[in-house]
Structure 1
């Protein structure tokens, strides 16, 4: 009898352990592991080439691809509900017209999303809460265009149990972020500064963050190779932060972009160049192709 009890107990413990193992856990560990050489793949607005951008379905399909992070954008309705929306108006991506703040959540729900060609779909605008419930245990979320709702977003993350799933970012200096949201920095919600390397104060911005916060990552944008190479950005990995490059379009990466990597079939000159210059996170509009490229090089599990 004791033997059967012990076997049953072992099975229960095993099932609990399996239930607690989430696909997102190794992604979170890699994000915070300064020694990891693996490259995290960030899907820009989800899998928007096959689904409406910032939709639940585009998040689901990006997860199915095996991406590590899905980038989304936030806006707020008239009655204070955080929704996924990139533009200042809903005109381009939905069946409606106007600003998100012109509508209540009930009114927003009556609208439908458009596909990448502007055609109608039956999909609806999701809330940020629905986004995080979709991502929970499965993928990380990068909150872009959401800094204005920093505290509201944090409350949703706490509610959904996904604080460790998210990265929020802005182009502000450390001093500005500290003054506006200092109580949430340094361990509560992972923060990533966006640094325009073309600006004369770029190195000073990085050094200020390094001295005071040591962010989880830095998003670095540059329009010429020399701008990046002649900067002091190489010090970033020494303090444990990741380096995030965008391969979306040429102005953000001096032409080492998705177009060069995919359409022109020169991935070594595009993504390869970014990796050679210490990229450990790449945001792309071609996540499927980037994952395949990284796996061939042993840089994505």
Structure 2
């Protein structure tokens, strides 16, 4: 199934998002990292999108090419031919990583590889490119197999999300923060534009638990990042690999349906062995939080 109900329809939760692809044995944001995510059975591969000097969309997280290629140039100042002439460093790059035989892929190449194989989440690095990326996905008939992220904190943001979806048919995933004092208002704003999946930051897991019924009534599936550099309230990959029940287990019990991680294989092993012990009914008791 590849449609707006993809995440709600999954029988095994939380759905696993491989951040920048599954890059343990391949460069991040490479075709090989997407293929590895497919082979591992993860539900989603997240990839980063930028535009070259000659207008071609390609996969790269950083503005500078240094970490992944060793080049000292900004990626948007180079043509796609120049970009694809440089080999990618292995894994998450850096000066300590060796070079691979893989090169920077175009977005079109990534979409073709993923089609009918894995759901893609597209992190478009520049807002002015959002509509162009959505149009490309639509042209490749993959509206139901990918989503793009849009920050939503105001009514204007929410209406932009709605306009993108209506014009291109591609699911737009709002990114927003839920605090105790604004949570209900944000839920209503997202309900008004019929969002189905939201990347959530939060002041406390208790905030999400307290409003769980509202999220469910609004038809919102919550996506949480446990990536070390952006994790909320200590719910990080580093902590999860030491105490997965306290991190991934608490998030699951709180109703989180999607988790993005840099350790997808560890999360998959935990999910496979522990999920029978968890239920997905709303609970009155508070989840166990990490120390």
TM normalised by structure 2 equals: 0.83
Matched with 2:48 is 73
SS at 2:16's partner residue? strand
C-alpha contact 1:178 1:185 (8 A) present in aligned 2: no
What does 1:1-301 correspond to in 2, within 5 Å? 25=1, 29-33=5-9, 38-115=13-90, 116-118=92-94, 119-146=98-125, 147-173=127-153, 175-177=155-157, 180=160, 182-186=162-166, 188-198=169-179, 201=182, 203-210=184-191, 212-222=192-202, 224-226=204-206, 228-229=208-209, 232=211, 234-249=213-228, 251-262=230-241, 264=242, 266-296=243-273, 297-298=275-276
C-alpha contact 1:74 1:128 (8 A) present in aligned 2: yes
C-alpha contact 1:195 1:219 (8 A) present in aligned 2: yes
Q: How many angstroms apart in 1 are the aligned matches of 2:79 and 2:214?
A: 46
C-alpha contact 2:183 2:207 (8 A) present in aligned 1: no
Q: How many angstroms apart in 1 are the aligned matches of 2:123 and 2:42?
A: 17
Tell me by how many angstroms 1:250 deviates.
7.0
Q: What's the CA shift string for 1:61-80, capped at 9, x where partnerless?
A: 01100000100111101111
CA RMSD, Structure 1 to Structure 2 (Å)? 2.5
Q: How many angstroms apart in 2 are the aligned matches of 1:145 and 1:203?
A: 28
Q: How many angstroms apart in 2 are the aligned matches of 1:222 and 1:178?
A: 19
C-alpha contact 1:83 1:128 (8 A) present in aligned 2: yes
Q: What's the CA shift string for 1:169-211, capped at 9, x where partnerless?
A: 122336334554643325811111111235964543332111x
Higher strand share: 2
Q: How many angstroms apart in 2 are the aligned matches of 1:134 and 1:93?
A: 21
C-alpha contact 2:180 2:207 (8 A) present in aligned 1: no
SS at 1:249's partner residue? coil
Matched with 1:7 is none
Q: How many angstroms apart in 2 are the aligned matches of 1:175 and 1:90?
A: 36
Q: How many angstroms apart in 2 are the aligned matches of 1:280 and 1:233?
A: 12
Q: Where in structure 2 are there 5+ consecutive unaligned residues?
A: 279-291
Q: What's the CA shift string for 1:256-282, capped at 9, x where partnerless?
A: 2222221x1x21101000001101111
Tell me by how many angstroms 1:144 deviates.
1.4
Q: How many angstroms apart in 2 are the aligned matches of 1:150 and 1:279?
A: 26
C-alpha contact 1:257 1:270 (8 A) present in aligned 2: yes
| Greater mean deviation of Cα atoms: 88-97 or 74-83 | 88-97
C-alpha contact 2:49 2:57 (8 A) present in aligned 1: yes
Q: What's the CA shift string for 1:98-154, capped at 9, x where partnerless?
A: 222211112112112112353222211001111111100000001113443222112
C-alpha contact 1:56 1:131 (8 A) present in aligned 2: yes
TM normalised by structure 1 equals: 0.80
| Greater mean deviation of Cα atoms: 216-225 or 271-280 | 216-225
Q: How many angstroms apart in 2 are the aligned matches of 1:84 and 1:57?
A: 12
Q: Where in structure 1 are there 5+ consecutive unaligned residues?
A: 1-24
Q: How many angstroms apart in 2 are the aligned matches of 1:245 and 1:291?
A: 16
In terms of Rg, which structure is larger?
A: 1
| Greater mean deviation of Cα atoms: 113-122 or 99-108 | 113-122
**Count, aligned residues:** 270
